[in-house]
Amino acid sequence: MLVLGIDTSCDETAVSVVRDGQEILSNIVASQVIHSKYGGVIPEAAARAHIQAILPITEIALKVANISLRDINLIGVTNGPGLIGSLLCGLSFAKALSFSLNVPFCAVNHLVGHIYSLILEYKNPPLPMIVLLISGGHTELYLLKENLEYELLGQTMDDACGEAFDKVAKMLNKPYPGGPYIEKLAKKGKRNINFPIPVLKNYNFSFSGLKTAVLYYLKENPSYNEYDVAHSFQETVIDYLILALNKASEEFNIKNIGVVGGVAVNERLKERLNLLAQDKNYRIFIPRKELCLDNGAMIACASYYQYQKEGPSDFSVEAFAN
């Protein structure tokens, strides 16, 4: 079964062709550079850029996969959460394609797509697994069960993990998205600032206090060392994430740990998780970078499984922002 996966939830236009929910034939992502100078995504600009990119990116995805539109058996598309204008572009496109080709389509939750990036990368990963989703808009902890059902254990009550990276980067006058800049700065820094590790309530996260602590530190120390700020901040975030993973691993007696979403590309996070794995006998699963950042392949994979279970979506399905 050839699945065309489409994601336009935020500021990347992503289209992919995946065979049988497993084999990636193409995975094309057009990132919108327009937002960088504004320090965040401008929703109207994002929607307009998706409209311009969706056709050419789909054509490239088909060409790289060496197939034609007529070969597609299923269309998977993100219908939320995300920016409503951006989502509508991908969803309308998918519905139109589905109608004109007479091929079923499945509307997929973007976060479920991120979880399924683990299935796509590792084929048959050991389950159950504790899955931490850390992205630009979400920080969520899931229990992924043997039957691929998932249970939400907790989520952020304010900022998302990636958002905290982006905001701290902005305070350090770095462009959006800031996560990669923080990681780069942190490599040259030391942990000599004691930012407080936020409190974990059940499995609910909070990043706004840490963000504010960085802001106050910068105000009180105008000649701050940006390398040390980035390093100390990043280590504190990782401490916090590890705290949640350890707690869940103990409570559910599960040693399989998956980490997905854009922040999961952070090399220092991977390094610390690998050390933790040795210490605690964990098995760590982190998809490759292209599958952690927004992409169409994870949506194709999730829609493949959703279609087996629930069948196609109806044309009345709507986009939802939150």
Ligand X SMILES: Nc1ncnc2c1ncn2[C@@H]1O[C@H](COP(=O)(O)OP(=O)(O)OP(=O)(O)O)[C@@H](O)[C@H]1O
Which residues make up the interface to ligand X (CB under 6 A)? 9-10, 82, 110, 135-138, 162-163, 165-166, 177-180, 183, 261-263, 265-266, 293-294
- Of 10 and 28, CB closest to ligand X: 10
291 binds, among ligand X, Mg ion, none (CB under 5 to 8 A by kind): none
- Of 223 and 322, CB closest to ligand X: 322
178 binds, among Mg ion, ligand X, none (CB under 5 to 8 A by kind): ligand X
Q: Minimum Å distance from CB 269 to Mg ion? A: 16
- Of 106 and 172, CB closest to Mg ion: 106
Q: Minimum Å distance from CB 53 to ligand X? A: 16
| Distances, alpha carbon 76 to alpha carbons 62, 161, 239, 253, in Å | 14, 27, 36, 34
- Of 24 and 299, CB closest to ligand X: 299
249-308 residues near Mg ion, rule: CB under 5 A: 294
Burial 252-272 (b: 16+ CB within 10 A, else e): eebbbbbbbbbbbbbebbeeb
Distance CA 65, CA 83 (A): 28
- Of 131 and 254, CB closest to ligand X: 131
Closest to 137 (Cα-Cα) out of 43, 233, 251, 34: 43
177 binds, among ligand X, Mg ion, none (CB under 5 to 8 A by kind): ligand X
Closest to 84 (Cα-Cα) out of 163, 10, 176: 10
- Of 161 and 213, CB closest to Mg ion: 161
Tokens of residue 275, six digits: 């050390």
What is the 8-class DSSP label of residue 9?
S
Token look-up 């802001």 returns 215
97-156 residues near Mg ion, rule: CB under 5 A: 135
Distance CA 142, CA 155 (A): 9
- Comparing every residue's Cβ against ligand X, the nearest one is 262
21 binds, among Mg ion, ligand X, none (CB under 5 to 8 A by kind): none
310 exposure class (CB count in 10 Å sphere: 0-12, 13-18, 19+): exposed
**Residues of this chain that bind Mg ion (CB under 5 A):** 135, 294
